[in-house]
Structure 1
Amino acid sequence: MNMKISEGVWPTMVTPFTDNNEVDYEALGRLVEWYIQNRVNGLFAVCQSSEMFYLTLEERVKVAAFVKEKSAGRVPVIASGHISDDFEEQVKELNMMAETGIDAMVLITNRLALEHESDEVWLNNLEKLLERLPKHVSLSFYECPFPYKRVISPELLKWCSDTGRFFFLKDTSCDIDNIKGKLDAIKGSGLKIYNANTATLMETLKLGVAGYSGVMANFHPDLYAWLLGNWSEKPAEADHLSNFLSMTSLIEKQLYPVNAKYYLMLEGLLNNYHCRSKNHKEFTATNRLEVEQLHRISKVFTKQYCI
């Protein structure tokens, strides 16, 4: 099993589009370089930030393969494998994604059972799915909030870690106690947990999470990289930065991922902030001003912490 998952910062990548609403691979290539230059430790391509539910299967596979090729082994790449409701369609999607050569394939927790169905149903479906996936492919989990959030229990996570096939969990519980329970359940295993929530990040780092995998790494990944690399040795500076990151993460409540794409335009990477999942025309002049202000103050913190 080819396993290269590292601790640290894993941005949930956005997908740039052309004015004709096609995937903009030139801009995507610039994004890959920008993330790496800003010291991320891995790339999560094809996720909700990537608007995966609005990409065709062919587009999802091509985006994952493109990001893997452009990263050229400098950082590992993972990608979500399935979005369909139908089991056989999921098997098809996952096996096509497995052929891209990504370092780990991500299973979406809410795809394994309906919202009203029990953990027993979830586990039965997972067992059936594992039988249909290539054994050499490393696997991960993502507690994707859409179409509903299914937070995996510590007990189920332990079962998954005991299979030896899972190595990465993007946790979206935003709950320190839940994360602690998961960490206790998988202690000593090869499965690592990555927190998607900035407000709880520092406390969960102290508990043993392996890193951050959230939307704010599309804005200032270098600051998260500094925090992940220095929180234990420079606690005062880390607390100060953590407070800044936590408050600025409230911009997630804006029109995301439109606002992230606008920020990346300010970085000179994207040509527009068009999305398929949101109407970019609803992004107001005030919204743009708020992102511009965030961009400016982020650069102040970058000079203070990263240069």
Structure 2
Amino acid sequence: MSETSNNYKGVWPVLITPYNDDLSIDIDGYRKMLEWYSSLDLGGVYANCQSSEMFELTDDERLLLITEALKVVDRKFPVVATGNFGNNIDEHIEFIKKVADTGAEIVMLTVPTFHNTDEELEKYYLTIVEKTDAKLGIYECPVPRSYNLGLGLVKVLADSGRFFAYKETSCNIDRIKKLIEITSDTNLAYLQANVPYMLEAVKLGAPGSMNIAANWIPDLEIEVLKRGLEGDANADELNGILCGMEMAQRSV
């Protein structure tokens, strides 16, 4: 396709879940966090993801995080959320529809652990395309296992026209470059997931990033991304500060 209908770009925090002492979700704290994000020039937010501890939550808690994010953000920018939970594809499709019904703009799909080849995964993802109407995304969540989709499979999904966001986690610059080329003329926005590779990916044509550091220093990331897109010579210096802060975060 020569034109895209995709506006997904910029910096995307991957939302955490605050808790009360009894381990119930601290909705007031969650709302205050989202109010802060809503004051910033973000590309969007990703609710119900690994940073949200999605695998430790009940379905009701997952849906609560999504609906509260949508209420607070109030269409200022997109809210996307993971949808494929359950023990088989039928259960996944059922919950994907529930997430779509909340109004989440994109339902993100992790790599299911019950498929182990790209051939099986292609059938899985295209079955979801066939049996749902939702705008879909790809999330190569490194938990409970790390699996990077093959380039051919990514192209199939991009060419389907039904996938709009790709949170990619390989940390391999050669792969990143190829994926940007594959997705550049499709609806699928390549949103790289690791801060040390963000600026280089942006210089190669990536439209944005979904990453953990955006949770606490989104304003710095926004500036690095902006300067990178503009070709500002100071982008690298500012990016060095960002990467240093991100490394400090990882050491905690």
Q: TM-score range by the shorter chain?
A: over 0.9
Structure 1: which 5+ residue stretches go unaligned?
A: 255-286, 288-307
Paired amino acid for 1:122? L
Paired amino acid for 2:127? K
Match of 1:111 in 2: 112
Match of 1:10 in 2: 12
Match of 1:195 in 2: 192
Paired amino acid for 2:208? G
Paired amino acid for 2:237? H
Q: Does 1:120 align with 2:122?
A: no
8 A Cα contact 1:82 1:93, kept in partner: yes
Distance 1:93 1:5, change over 3 A: farther
Q: Does 1:88 align with 2:90?
A: yes
Q: Secondary structure at the match of 2:138?
A: strand
Q: Distance in 1 between matches of 2:204 and 2:77?
A: 25
Query: Aligned residues: percent identity?
Result: 31
Q: TM-score, normalised by structure 2?
A: 0.93
Q: Does 1:210 align with 2:207?
A: yes
For these two proteins, the number of residue pairs brought into alignment is 248
Q: Give the drift of 1:52.
A: 0.3
8 A Cα contact 1:65 1:100, kept in partner: yes
8 A Cα contact 1:9 1:42, kept in partner: yes
Query: What do residues 81-116 of structure 1 show as CA deviations (whole Å, max 9, x unaligned)?
Result: 0233322221221111111011111011x21643xx
Q: Distance in 1 between matches of 2:152 and 2:48?
A: 27
Q: Give the drift of 1:131.
A: 2.3
Q: Distance in 2 between matches of 1:112 and 1:164?
A: 25
Q: Distance in 2 between matches of 1:5 and 1:55?
A: 30
Structure 1 segments, 4+ long, off by >4 Å, are none
Query: What do residues 243-289 of structure 1 show as CA deviations (whole Å, max 9, x unaligned)?
Result: 111122123434xxxxxxxxxxxxxxxxxxxxxxxxxxxxxxxx5xx
| Partner of residue 248 from structure 1, selected from 236, 245, 250 | 245
| Partner of residue 60 from structure 1, selected from 59, 62, 84 | 62
The within-5 A match list for 1:24-63 is: 24-63=26-65
Q: Does 1:160 align with 2:161?
A: no
Q: Does 1:131 align with 2:133?
A: no
Query: What do residues 188-229 of structure 1 show as CA deviations (whole Å, max 9, x unaligned)?
Result: 112110111111111111111111110001120000011111
Q: TM-score, normalised by structure 1?
A: 0.77
Match of 1:228 in 2: 225
Distance 1:233 1:91, change over 3 A: closer
Q: Does 1:70 align with 2:69?
A: no
| Partner of residue 236 from structure 2, selected from 225, 236, 239 | 239
Q: Distance in 2 between matches of 1:22 and 1:4?
A: 36
What CA RMSD, in Å, does the superposition of the two structures yield over aligned residues? Answer: 1.7
The within-5 A match list for 1:162-181 is: 162-181=159-178
Query: What do residues 49-72 of structure 1 show as CA deviations (whole Å, max 9, x unaligned)?
Result: 000001101111121011011111
Larger Rg: 1
Q: Distance in 1 between matches of 2:56 and 2:229?
A: 40
Q: Distance in 1 between matches of 2:69 and 2:135?
A: 17
8 A Cα contact 2:136 2:162, kept in partner: yes
Query: What do residues 163-185 of structure 1 show as CA deviations (whole Å, max 9, x unaligned)?
Result: 11111101111111111111222
Match of 1:276 in 2: none
Q: Distance in 2 between matches of 1:92 and 1:234?
A: 45
